[in-house]
Structure 1
Amino acid sequence: MRTLNLGILAHVDAGKTSLTERLLHTAGVIDEIGSVDDGSTRTDSLALERQRGITIKSAVVSFVIDDITVNLIDTPGHPDFIAEVERSLGVLDGAVLVISAVEGVQAQTRVLMRTLRRLRIPTIVFVNKIDRRGAHGERVLRSVAERLSPAVVPMGAAYGLGTRGAGFAPYDGTETAFVSGLAETLADHDDALMAAYLDDAAVLPYGLLHRELAAQTRRAAVHPVYFGSAITGAGVDALITGVKELLPASERDAEGAVLGTVFKIDRGPAGEKVAYVRMLSGTVRTRDRLTFGRDGAGKVTAISVFDQGSAVPRESVEAGRIAVLRGLGGVRIGDTVGGTGVTGVTARTGVSPDGAEHSRVSPEHFAPPTLETVVVPCRPADRGALHAALAQLVEQDPLIDLRQDELRQEISVSLYGEVQKEVIQATLANDFGVEVTFRETTTICVERLTGSGAAFEIMGKDHNPFLATVGLRVDPAPVDSGVEFRLEVELGSMPFAFMKAVEETVKESLFQGIHGWRIPDCTVTLTHSGYAARQSHSHGVFDKSMSSTAGDFRNLTPLVLMSALQQAGTAVHEPMHRFRLELPADVYGALLPVLARLRAVPRTPSTRGDAYVLEGEIPAAQVHELEQRLPTLTRGEGVLESAFDRYRPVTGAIPSRPRTDHDPLHRKEYLLRVVRRIAGG
């Protein structure tokens, strides 16, 4: 049987969880359709999800369409939980992007579609809620073509919009206008078809065009559009037909080598770690020993496979399926199971030489969180329990990015927004019994090099107390290129373990630049190296005071790196959001001074009927205030979309961030804290 891993994505409240319920009902998996408002849906299983009526965690259900097993992943729509969507993208064969026929294309819709197109994930668009008052058909279709992708193909006509009798009539190839438009759209993406179309569009049979539509949809070149209602079921049968015929279901190699990707981590009733794995090839059986990540390994103690809406215990799971594996205690999100290396979202927890802990994540598809806050336990005695609880939350959501300051005994977390903060607070209280409050939410900036710099320290000279020689040069690097470590010394000039210690410490230290912010992009070159060879006394006992250790290099490297950074200079950059604001024309003048005070940079507005459409950019730190003030300023008629765009240099006072390390910018204090052996005064 073929399998299709299908994602349901949407802006919050577009109706994707309701659509999931309708699909399960139509496929015969459930007898009654659950309600988001009543908290009775199959995929919103968390108490918090039922209380709030929103999806917080991605969930997997399975159903069968003819000879295709569909593993359906319902993802959160609220932008604060974009990390859940992030982790699901890597396991998808195709997607259904849900849009409300009332609200139309929204901010999160655009972010999702840009990402789906960039990753070339085959996508069908479903315009939901055609039965709701205020629903639009042609206007939403134009908006999809203008703001999401011009290569859209309406697969039928909606009728009775805004009424309970609203429905969808799929085209069957007898409609001249539809066939002509389909041929024109498909010809734009295929030279042979274009030649045939230009020769005589009338001779292109619909069967040929439909096959080409399926091929181009699977290449993510075009996007079929269906209309319907998840509540009434209108258009859902046509959507299911489209999923079956147009998206790329396939058979996998169950006899090959085991290979899978971990896209979600959860905890079982007894606190055991549970890994959600998409099986790419091979077959896994209980009691099999699997490797994962870079050097992890564990024995599979239990397997569950999604079948007809539920996770069912099985003795094995084969390629193409999504499985829940137990027994892999050290597994993390993004790990490759059965292969080598790490794929998808790489998340690791590192500990710097001073003991400060940082969870590190390399996001693949979406912008990182731009906000952070300090989490404060209401009872000081809960400090240890708070750390343990947050560590578990980081396992499940690496983009929370736990940052522990041992010096001040504080823990901070990264956030996408205020709703996520409220959910973390409720989760800590409900699941772990830890009551917390938060400090004021602040913006996460980054530092970028403004020039190049170099520094070195020679073993035995200039009050260097470490048995190590380290020289480093730092150079700017293009945005989003990451940190690259290079060697300008010969690879054999000192033991590889010492070079590795320098490289790891450099990358760890760059989490806190001159002003305390992470330096995400730069090139660091090792220019000088030297060490004291292993020496022993006459009785043969190794003597640390005479021989270099990796600790010498880990302790010296931050001093050298910070000296090089000070010579190079850094500039602090703040996150900026692009915004799109629809508002009544008569309030435009009153809004401009507010935007100026919030340091927004608007562009020239355009008109849409009796409304203005204003686009521009605004500091991420000011978005929340604009959202709060907008209803009053626009009589409740303003509609704001915003999404992260870029970092730009801070103007005015330079914000700094308290350091969590032993502060290598101040040499004397640093040495007092880290040196256990001071040679030569």
Structure 2
Amino acid sequence: MRTLTVGVVAHVDAGKTSLTERILHEAGVLDHPGSVDAGDTRTDSLDLERRRGITIRSAVASFCWHDTLVNLVDTPGHSDFVAEVERSLAVLDAAVLVVSAVEGVQAQTLVLMRALQRLGLPTVLFVNKLDRAGADPERVLTQVADRLTPEAVPLGTARDVGSRAAGYTAFPVAASERVDLRAGTRAARLHPVVFGSAITGAGVGALLDVLTDLVADDGSREDLVTDEGAGDAVGARASGVVFKLDRTTAGGRLTYVRMTAGILWVRDRLELDGRASERAPERVTGLEVFGPDGLCRAEHVGRGRIAVLRGPTAARVGDTFGPDGPRARHVELGRPSLETVVDPVDPRQRGRLFSALTELAEQDPLIDLRLDDGRGEVAVSLYGEVQKEVIATFLEEDHGVAATFRPTTPICVERVRGVGSAHQLIDVAPNPFLATVGLRVEPAAVGTGVELALEVELGSMPPAFFTAVREGVDGTLTEAVHGWAVPDCRVVVTHSGYYPRQSAMHAGFDKKMSSTAADFRSLARLVLAEALARAGTVVCAPVHRFELEVPQDLVGTVLAELPHHRAVPHATRVTGASATSAAVLTGDVPAAEVHGLAQRLPHLTRGEGILTTVLDHHAPVTGAPPRRTRALPDPFAQVRDWARVQRSWPSGGAQGAHASDPYP
């Protein structure tokens, strides 16, 4: 049987979860589709999801359609949980992008389509809510062509739009045309469009036919076990990717994997990323596979299937395993732009709070847990205020920790202004380290990342010492002059030198006479701090692109409010028929002002305003640059007085302390 893993993605309230429920009903998995309003949907299984009526965690359900086993991944639509969508994209064969026939193409729709295009994922568009008043599929098709892709191909027409009788009629397609359409769809050059309604079921069967006829690959058949006892031979070739982590009610680790090759058996050893030197292989002690009957225990899982493993404890989201493991497929939909400090209501629960947040950070790495050892403060990164409320609920209901959150602040970045250089020579005061390191830091274009270049010979010292220099560089760039990260710059190694392994006669290795990786890690942090101070940095705050839909008669009122939140409108367009027309404003707003604008909106728009935002860029702050408390030792304070720097200075670094180094 062929296998196909499909993700359902959409702007919030486009009907994504309702479509998932209707698909499962059409496929015979559910007797009746659940309702978001009633809180009885299959994929929104968390109590908090049902109470709030939003998807927070991605969920998997499987069903058979014709000769294909389909793994359906329902993802969050709210922008506060976009990180969960990122993790799901890593395991998809294709995506269904849901667009509302009433609201049309919205801000998050654009973000998702661009991500799918960058990944080259086959994408089918489902224009939902044909039965709703104000539905206008032709207008939406025009928006899709103008704002998403000109290669959208309608495969049928809508009828009786705006009523419960709304339906979908597929075009007849010749065999020769179907061959071209299949090739274009699988290559992500063409994007089929189906119209329908998740509530009434119109067009849903046609959507499933499109997925299995045009998207599913004949080469995606599940590996089968044909020889008794073949587990050892086949299991060694098992390959896949980890895309989600969870916990049992008893606290056990659950590892969600998508298989890409071979067969994985219970009792097989899982070697994550092939890095046996870093993490020892772990035995799979239990295995459950998603199928039409839900999650069922199994002895093995084959290619194309999604399984939940018990046993591994060191897995991280994005890890791969096996010789044919997939290359890391990742597209960033936007980093968190806010952060907050979390405090336990009961100070005695500080340890439990940190443990609970660590568990959440395992499941969502972009929470980016930061511990300030000096102040004993724990900070987390956020996409928005809704995520803060969700974290608070998880802490109290799942871990028994009542917590408060300090005011949310934007996560700034630092950009290098000029060119700065510094160096320290081995055995020359005031350098206490047995290493020579010289570094020059230069600005780089936004989005290019950190480049480490060499103006010294690659063979001038052991590779481990160059690695240590890179770790020291990363540590300093994580918390630069004002405590913020430097995301883009070029660092050039201009000087290098070391003392080779030396020992007293008839004695072992003497660390006092020989250079170590810790010397280079520590010195690189300090030298780069000097270079950055000389180059100078500018602190830049996050700015969101907003899309604000309001009744047309209230545009003037809303425009008058925007300056109070430092929001700058750039364009306005009108949507809908004259009787129900609305204006859509787009522009920029500082991340720090998004929550305030959202709170004012219901009062200004009779509760009819809809605001969506996404991180767009960073802009230089005016006035005194904000400072961020440090979680690592401060190299900028140290280099102001080199005479006080000792060889045992704690270098920290992006990789943390290395237990094998004599001076962590």
Establish whether residue 339 from structure 1 lines up as the match of residue 323 from structure 2. Answer: yes
Cα deviations by residue, 1:142-164 (Å, 9 ceiling, x for unpaired): 33333222222222222333332
The answer on whether the counterparts of 2:472 and 2:523 sit within 8 Å (CA) in structure 1 is no
SS in 2 for 1:19: helix
The answer for the alignment partner of 1:177 in structure 2 is: none
1:674 and 1:65 map into 2 onto residues whose CA distance is 68
Establish whether residue 449 from structure 1 lines up as the match of residue 429 from structure 2. Answer: no
Match runs of 1:53-68 below 5 Å: 53-68=53-68
1:275 to 252, 255, 269: 255
Give the CA deviation at 1:584.
Answer: 5.0
Shift in CA distance, 482/138, structure 1 to aligned 2, threshold 3 Å: same
The answer for the alignment partner of 1:349 in structure 2 is: none
The answer for the alignment partner of 2:242 in structure 1 is: 262
Q: Which amino acid aligns with 1:426?
A: T
Shifted more, 580-589 versus 263-272: the winner is 580-589
Cα deviations by residue, 1:2-42 (Å, 9 ceiling, x for unpaired): 11111111122222222212111211122232222232222
Match runs of 1:146-185 below 5 Å: 146-173=146-173
The answer on whether the counterparts of 2:9 and 2:76 sit within 8 Å (CA) in structure 1 is yes
Shift in CA distance, 374/270, structure 1 to aligned 2, threshold 3 Å: same
Give the CA deviation at 1:671.
Answer: 7.7
2:603 to 632, 646, 649: 632
The answer for the alignment partner of 1:623 in structure 2 is: 594
Give the CA deviation at 1:556.
Answer: 2.2
The answer for the alignment partner of 2:517 in structure 1 is: 550
SS in 1 for 2:289: strand
The answer on whether the counterparts of 1:470 and 1:560 sit within 8 Å (CA) in structure 2 is yes
Give the CA deviation at 1:81.
Answer: 0.6
The answer for the alignment partner of 1:19 in structure 2 is: 19
2:459 and 2:465 map into 1 onto residues whose CA distance is 11
Match runs of 1:51-90 below 5 Å: 51-90=51-90
The answer on whether the counterparts of 1:61 and 1:309 sit within 8 Å (CA) in structure 2 is no
2:399 and 2:44 map into 1 onto residues whose CA distance is 20
Establish whether residue 217 from structure 1 lines up as the match of residue 188 from structure 2. Answer: no
Cα deviations by residue, 1:145-197 (Å, 9 ceiling, x for unpaired): 33222222222222333332222222235xxxxxxxxxxxxxxxxxxxxxxxx
Establish whether residue 421 from structure 1 lines up as the match of residue 388 from structure 2. Answer: yes
1:102 and 1:604 map into 2 onto residues whose CA distance is 20
Establish whether residue 651 from structure 1 lines up as the match of residue 631 from structure 2. Answer: no
The answer for the alignment partner of 1:600 in structure 2 is: 567
1:244 to 207, 212, 216: 212
Shift in CA distance, 13/313, structure 1 to aligned 2, threshold 3 Å: same
Give the CA deviation at 1:586.
Answer: 5.4
Give the CA deviation at 1:432.
Answer: 1.4
Shift in CA distance, 670/247, structure 1 to aligned 2, threshold 3 Å: farther
The answer on whether the counterparts of 2:371 and 2:631 sit within 8 Å (CA) in structure 1 is yes
Shift in CA distance, 34/605, structure 1 to aligned 2, threshold 3 Å: closer
1:314 to 276, 298, 316: 298
1:36 and 1:674 map into 2 onto residues whose CA distance is 61
Establish whether residue 491 from structure 1 lines up as the match of residue 458 from structure 2. Answer: yes
Shift in CA distance, 463/672, structure 1 to aligned 2, threshold 3 Å: closer
Give the CA deviation at 1:71.
Answer: 0.7
1:315 and 1:480 map into 2 onto residues whose CA distance is 45
Give the CA deviation at 1:418.
Answer: 0.7
SS in 2 for 1:447: strand
Shift in CA distance, 344/432, structure 1 to aligned 2, threshold 3 Å: farther
1:573 and 1:655 map into 2 onto residues whose CA distance is 9
SS in 2 for 1:112: helix
2:326 and 2:6 map into 1 onto residues whose CA distance is 23
The answer on whether the counterparts of 2:10 and 2:97 sit within 8 Å (CA) in structure 1 is yes
Percent of aligned pairs sharing the same letter: 55
1:497 and 1:94 map into 2 onto residues whose CA distance is 41
Shift in CA distance, 669/59, structure 1 to aligned 2, threshold 3 Å: farther
Match runs of 1:67-466 below 5 Å: 67-173=67-173, 206-252=174-220, 254=223, 257-293=237-273, 294-295=275-276, 296=279, 297-339=281-323, 343-344=327-328, 364-466=331-433
Shifted more, 370-379 versus 7-16: the winner is 7-16
The answer for the alignment partner of 2:657 in structure 1 is: none
The answer on whether the counterparts of 1:334 and 1:342 sit within 8 Å (CA) in structure 2 is no
2:636 to 635, 660, 665: 665
Match runs of 1:585-596 below 5 Å: 587-596=554-563
Cα deviations by residue, 1:37-79 (Å, 9 ceiling, x for unpaired): 2322221111211221111111111101111110111111111
The answer for the alignment partner of 1:574 in structure 2 is: 541
1:34 and 1:607 map into 2 onto residues whose CA distance is 34
Q: Which amino acid aligns with 1:406?
A: D
Q: Which amino acid aligns with 1:618?
A: V
The answer on whether the counterparts of 1:155 and 1:226 sit within 8 Å (CA) in structure 2 is yes
The two structures have a TM-score, normalised by structure 1, of: 0.87
1:606 and 1:135 map into 2 onto residues whose CA distance is 17
Give the CA deviation at 1:373.
Answer: 0.6
Shift in CA distance, 106/671, structure 1 to aligned 2, threshold 3 Å: farther
1:677 and 1:58 map into 2 onto residues whose CA distance is 44
SS in 1 for 2:245: strand
Q: Which amino acid aligns with 2:541?
A: E
Q: Number of residue pairs matched?
A: 629
The answer for the alignment partner of 1:41 in structure 2 is: 41
Q: Which runs of 5+ in 1 are unaligned?
A: 174-205, 346-362
1:542 and 1:223 map into 2 onto residues whose CA distance is 64
Shift in CA distance, 135/584, structure 1 to aligned 2, threshold 3 Å: closer
1:214 and 1:343 map into 2 onto residues whose CA distance is 25
The answer on whether the counterparts of 1:4 and 1:250 sit within 8 Å (CA) in structure 2 is no
2:490 and 2:326 map into 1 onto residues whose CA distance is 23
Give the CA deviation at 1:473.
Answer: 1.3
SS in 2 for 1:510: helix
Cα deviations by residue, 1:454-504 (Å, 9 ceiling, x for unpaired): 101123333222222221111222222221223322333333333322211
Q: Which amino acid aligns with 1:18?
A: S
SS in 2 for 1:292: coil
Q: Which runs of 5+ in 2 are unaligned?
A: 224-233, 651-664
The answer on whether the counterparts of 1:9 and 1:74 sit within 8 Å (CA) in structure 2 is yes
SS in 1 for 2:474: helix
Give the CA deviation at 1:257.
Answer: 3.3
The answer for the alignment partner of 1:192 in structure 2 is: none
SS in 1 for 2:395: helix
The answer for the alignment partner of 2:531 in structure 1 is: 564
SS in 2 for 1:43: coil
The two structures have a TM-score, normalised by structure 2, of: 0.89
Give the CA deviation at 1:420.
Answer: 0.7
The answer on whether the counterparts of 1:303 and 1:325 sit within 8 Å (CA) in structure 2 is yes
1:83 and 1:257 map into 2 onto residues whose CA distance is 30
Give the CA deviation at 1:134.
Answer: 3.3
Give the CA deviation at 1:541.
Answer: 5.1
Shift in CA distance, 639/393, structure 1 to aligned 2, threshold 3 Å: closer
Give the CA deviation at 1:252.
Answer: 4.0
Give the CA deviation at 1:652.
Answer: 3.2
The answer on whether the counterparts of 1:663 and 1:670 sit within 8 Å (CA) in structure 2 is no
1:57 and 1:641 map into 2 onto residues whose CA distance is 20
SS in 2 for 1:603: strand
Give the CA deviation at 1:537.
Answer: 4.1
